[in-house]
Amino acid sequence: MEIRRFFVSQSDISDGVVVLCGDEFAHMTRVLRYKVGYKAIICANDGVERLCTVESIGRDSATLRVDKSETVDRKNVELTLYAGLLKNNKLDFAIQKAVELGVDRIVPFLSANCAETKFCRDRSSKIALEAAKQCGSAYLSEVGELISFDGMIDRFKDYDDVVFAYEGERKNRISDFRPTGKRIAIVIGPEGGFGAEEAEIIKSNGAKCVSLGRRILRAETASVVACALLLNGLGELDCE
């Protein structure tokens, strides 16, 4: 039987015992029909995999004993993807791929050319959770609340570097980007792209403008390409 992966908070683990509750408990017991004695991998967004055995199953929670812990991943950088809100399930795709690549946080934003205005954080967080399980991540990427364009600009100060993938950029290549610290943000526009005024505001607030090549990529393609190139250049796609 495949040993399934579940995500908890650090506070759910103490003295070698894990308490699983909420949606993850429901998934374990009602969907996967777990019983006492079954094995599970428990992750708490810290790069550690805990091989556990189910010791008890109650009405609302289960307790698991940690049999073996192993640090399987570590992050040298913390990458946040700021993604212009996209229509239909294109943002779902961008979130899923960002999680698979190891992006730490995905924050959707509204800008002048966004055609979509509706966003459901719970639904998108579930997509991130399923992607983390599927790819065997020991980290759980966070999906943030929908913010405004100005709200995104205000957050630039929280990062060592903000990389701005701009379809109008003709000189700087993303592969030439060199980080100055560990906290990095990457900004990708919506289907309608960025207006010249928005681009100027982003650049004048310290973002480093880069091109993803001569061709205009779809927003969801651009977010995958930009995150992959950045993470690869930062050594985050190494396999050891």
Q: Is 167 an interacting residue with respect to ligand SAH (CB under 6 A)?
A: yes
| Options 219, 229, 230, 234; binder of ligand SAH; rule CB under 6 A | 219
Q: Is 217 an interacting residue with respect to ligand SAH (CB under 6 A)?
A: yes
Give the binding range for ligand SAH (CB under 6 A) out of 41-49, 69-77, 145-153, 217-225.
Answer: 217-225
Residue 132 CB, shortest distance to ligand SAH, in Å, is 24
Pairing mode of beta strands 78-84, 183-188: parallel
Q: Is 166 an interacting residue with respect to ligand SAH (CB under 6 A)?
A: yes
Residue 38 CB, shortest distance to ligand SAH, in Å, is 44
* Between 121 and 173, CB nearer to ligand SAH: 173
Residue 164 CB, shortest distance to ligand SAH, in Å, is 8
Residue nearest to ligand SAH (CB): 189
Residue 108 CB, shortest distance to ligand SAH, in Å, is 13
* Between 6 and 109, CB nearer to ligand SAH: 109
Angstrom distance (rounded) from CA 222 to CA 217: 6
Residue 48's nearest CA partner among 80, 10, 101 is 10
Residue 8 CB, shortest distance to ligand SAH, in Å, is 35
Site size with ligand SAH, rule: CB under 6 A: 18
Angstrom distance (rounded) from CA 92 to CA 45: 21
Burial 69-79 (b: 16+ CB within 10 A, else e): eeeebeeebeb
Binding to ligand SAH by CB under 6 A, coded x per residue (else -) over 19-38, reads --------------------
| Residues in contact with ligand SAH by the rule CB under 6 A | 165-167, 169, 188-189, 191-194, 211-213, 215-217, 219, 222
